[in-house]
Structure 1
Amino acid sequence: MRASDTLPAWAGALRLGLRSAADLLLPPQCMLCSTEVDAPGRLCAACWPRLRFVAEPCCPTCGTPYAIPVPAGLVCGACLQEAPAYGRARAAFVYADGGRDLVLRFKRGDRTDLAPGLARLMHAAGRALLADCDLILPVPLHRGRLWRRRYNQSALLATALGRLAGRPVRLDLLERRRATPSLGRHGRIERRRILSGAIGISAAGRGDVRGRRILLVDDVLTSGATASACCRVLLRAGAAGVDVLTLARVVRAEQGTI
């Protein structure tokens, strides 16, 4: 039973009244533009088509969307060539056009208020992963970057997802022990070298991973190098399995085809 189920009727009416008063003073706006919408954390009718949502058909392992219909369960060439460290990865939408703008607004525009609405999109995309997980963890930020940005966007998404799915969230279990440069210009082998030893289990999290199915949360899946580094650490610590759920994913020209 949720705590809200035990509240008296007047408390629910009061909360609804306060919400209505707040909407009159500050009408909810589209997450991507300033158009008024019916509730916070929504997209307006004009902005909705600007996002390319990831749906079937997609690779059952990495979640890369296919451009044409394919047989169910067909694994993409990249995953066949080198299986990822994670079990499954899914994303709400492609990191392009309106999707890129929405991520950057949240991540670099200090729009932390968007986290609950964005988490709802992730929740819809990752229902199967959330149903199977025992624990939700965000990809950690190095303390230097966290100090400059003032928040970990992945932790905000993980916290909001935990509330929606009713799953426990640990923000202090994974830690980034060493600052690393941007990985975009590096090849696969170099990325793995850069990330070697950069991520670990915190002292507070030792013993809390063994036998549990973990859902790792991040904002964008690009090469998958950071997610894979986190997964390897968790699997070595005894996790039963690790899946990855992100807000967006990069799809290159050579991907999304078959």
Structure 2
Amino acid sequence: MSESARENGERPRRGFHGGKAVGVLARGFIDFVLPPVCFVCENPLDASPGLCMTCWARLSWIERPYCARLGTPMAYDLGEDALSAEAIADPPPFERARAVCLHDEISRELVHGFKYRDRLELGAAMARWMVRAGADLVRDADVIVPVPLHRRRLWRRRFNQAAVLARAIASSSGTPAELRALSRIRATQRQVGLERKSRQTNVRGAFAVEREMREAISKRRVLLVDDVYTTGATVKACTRALLRGGAGHVDVLTFARVVSPASLTI
């Protein structure tokens, strides 16, 4: 499998690939033998695979009111353009961020299944929810760009989860995706377990827009896509690289968002 295909979020192709009719029959047979189950608890479902009512209710969906800049939940509705204390004290380089849900037990199981257990069907569902949660960002975007993986990590993981999400969002919205517009030019330590300042140091200068890709984002509103927003260190570093590369504006759309309990009381 080529490195380009890996960067585009594709997974290795194995086995026989029949025609469309064969695929439909195969899926029907599989659904008959193995009825659809919940993505998380694996309880049987009546319809297509998704979340059962219990897991759906346990997912911490992000709904208004939220910060107009960071997309984080706010305890009180202060108006559509209201900003959180964090956004005022430390404005991010991107213009707007949105996420489907908080990073909790259910969303973590979905992300881990998608990213580490090759369950690409989870990515398709996550992308659909992202399109709804970030409808205004998707509508305003000129181009969709995923957060890239370094080639060594891409080789180990076999696909870039952010690229899979970006492709699905692009397909749904009709907005073009430039999957190679942003490159990770320096291998970085895994962000998991690092404190906020260490995360920022870890990704500083790790991203760049290659010269041949600058025309694709020049003066355009870029929608940057990733699976989880933790401290924001990665998407902020990516945003700065995109702006240096000529992008006009950058918005951020993720599936899950880590939010401190203290910020939820604001």
Q: Which category of TM-score, normalised to the shorter sequence, fits these structures?
A: 0.7 to 0.9
Aligned residue number for residue 195 of structure 2: 186
Query: Residue 178 of structure 2 contacts residue 216 of structure 2 at CA under 8 Å; is this kept in 1?
Result: no
Is 1:147 aligned to residue 155 of structure 2?
A: yes
Shift of 1:19: 5.4
Q: Is 127-136 or 142-151 further displaced after alignment?
A: 142-151
Pairs aligned (count): 246
Matched to 2:63, the amino acid is A
Which of 132, 156, 164 is the matching residue for 2:164?
156
Alignment of 1:186-205 (within 5 A): 186-188=195-197, 190-205=198-213
User: 1:155-197: CA deviations, max 9, x gaps?
Assistant: 1111111111111112111111111123453344x54333222
Shift of 1:126: 0.7
- Computed over aligned residues only, the root mean square deviation of the Cα atoms, in angstroms, reads 2.2
Structure 1: 5+ residue stretches without partners: 1-11
CA distance in structure 2 between the aligned counterparts of 1:51 and 1:237, rounded to whole angstroms: 37
Aligned residue number for residue 4 of structure 2: none
Aligned residue number for residue 255 of structure 1: 263
Which of 100, 105, 118 is the matching residue for 2:108?
100
Q: Is 43-52 or 23-32 further displaced after alignment?
A: 23-32
Is 1:87 aligned to residue 87 of structure 2?
A: no
CA distance in structure 1 between the aligned counterparts of 2:103 and 2:204, rounded to whole angstroms: 26
User: Once the two structures are aligned, what percentage of the paired residues are identical?
Assistant: 43
Secondary structure of 1:207's partner? helix
TM-score by length of 1: 0.87
Shift of 1:15: 8.5
Query: Residue 90 of structure 1 contacts residue 245 of structure 1 at CA under 8 Å; is this kept in 2?
Result: yes
Which of 10, 15, 35 is the matching residue for 2:43?
35
CA distance in structure 2 between the aligned counterparts of 1:206 and 1:40, rounded to whole angstroms: 41
Give 4+ residue runs of structure 1 displaced > 6 Å after superposition. Answer: 12-18
CA distance in structure 2 between the aligned counterparts of 1:112 and 1:181, rounded to whole angstroms: 25
CA distance in structure 1 between the aligned counterparts of 2:134 and 2:221, rounded to whole angstroms: 14
Secondary structure of 1:164's partner? helix
Which of 217, 231, 234 is the matching residue for 1:226?
234
TM-score by length of 2: 0.85
Shift of 1:226: 0.7
Secondary structure of 2:63's partner? coil
Aligned residue number for residue 59 of structure 1: 67
CA distance in structure 2 between the aligned counterparts of 1:130 and 1:160, rounded to whole angstroms: 12
Which of 97, 113, 117 is the matching residue for 1:109?
117
Shift of 1:108: 1.8
